[in-house]
Amino acid sequence: MTKKWLNRILDVAAIGVILFVAWKLLIAPRIMKSDAHPAPRIAYQKLDGGTFRIEQDRGHVLFLDFYASWCEPCKLQAPLVEAFAKAHPNVRVVPIDVGESRMLALRFANQYHLSDVAMDPTSSAMGFFAVQGFPTIVVIDPNGNIRYSWSGFNPAVSLAMDNAEKMLR
């Protein structure tokens, strides 16, 4: 009888995992928090020595990918976001390392082949963009308004980003 109960528990756990994966892949990417408001006028130093400013990307859909090098889900999502950026040259994707030194940001960017990385060593994104956890993606429309944001690892992040970009075109 114990084995029978164990099998039932495993069946329920398997169904739970399937439902969770279906939620993350099919439903959650389509349900994004949307409360359009102007993006803050911020300036972040870039690893390449330049400066990133949101207002420079007016006219384009802009994705800000906030992460930290110690964040395990960020390590999984960063390559997915970078692949989306390379496959969609019509949008701008800016990875932003939050709360870390230039050395840590550079090491992470090199390890995960990230380009155009900006740095937020003072963690100002926590307040300006309501970043409460990592990774967090913030979507800014061509008019400079924050339109969507979502937090946490999403294995279908490319689909979510593609959906957001299509809605803002």
Residue 27: pLDDT over 60? no
The rounded distance, in Å, linking the Cα atoms of 153 and 167 is 22
pLDDT digits (tens, 9 = 90+) for 81-139: 999 999 999 999 999 999 999 999 999 999 999 999 999 999 999 999 999 999 999 99
- pLDDT (average), residues 66-85: 97
- pLDDT (average), residues 33-57: 89
pLDDT at position 5 = 80
| Same-domain check for residues 27 and 41 | no
- The pairing of strands 136-140 and 145-151 is antiparallel
Strand order in the sheet with 43-46: 37-38, 145-151, 136-140, 62-67, 92-98, 118-120, 43-46, 51-53
What percent of the chain has pLDDT above 90? 75
pLDDT at position 31 = 46
| Same-domain check for residues 26 and 62 | no
| Same-domain check for residues 43 and 95 | yes
pLDDT at position 139 = 96
Determine the structural domain holding residue 129 and report its residue range.
33-168
Number of folded domains in the chain? 2
Q: Are 164 and 30 in contact (CB under 8 A)?
A: no
Residue 33: pLDDT over 80? no
Distances (CA, A) of 78 to 8, 35, 111, 115: 37, 25, 10, 11
| Same-domain check for residues 75 and 117 | yes
Q: Which of 33, 29, 32, 55 is nearest to 42 (CA)?
A: 55
Which segments of 30-144 does DSSP mark as H helices, in order? 72-87, 102-111, 125-128
Contacts with 122 (C-beta within 8 Å, 6 or more apart), sequence order: 99
pLDDT at position 17 = 72
| Same-domain check for residues 89 and 79 | yes
